[in-house]
């Protein structure tokens, strides 16, 4: 019988989950993030539900939360882009 640690199996969080975690840590509501982005709360909520953000939106959300974003593509030869 194989037993998996749930943290090992579920190590990758969705953008939606990361935003919610960062908001809680910063004691911000999702509505206040939407306000900071100049979006309607309903529109932001819809994007969260669909997990539908492009890179510029992710960077803007991170800035509103006082965080940085790092996106790295690592090729099979070890090269980072």
The model's pLDDT over 20-58, given as tens digits with 9 standing for 90+, comes to 999 999 999 999 999 999 999 999 999 999 999 999 999
Q: How confident is the model at residue 7 (pLDDT cuts 50, 70, 90)?
A: low
CB 61 within 8 A of CB 33: yes
C-alpha to C-alpha distance for 33 and 29, rounded to whole angstroms: 7
The whole model's pTM is what?
0.76
């Amino acid at each position: 019988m194989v037993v998996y640690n749930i943290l090992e199996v579920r190590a990758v969080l969705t953008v939606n989950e990361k935003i919610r975690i960062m908001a809680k840590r910063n004691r911000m509501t999702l509505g206040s993030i939407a306000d900071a982005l100049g979006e309607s709360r309903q529109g932001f909520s819809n994007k969260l539900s669909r997990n539908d953000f492009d890179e510029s939106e992710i960077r803007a959300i991170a800035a509103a939360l006082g965080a940085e974003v790092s996106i790295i593509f690592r090729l099979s030869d070890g090269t980072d882009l």
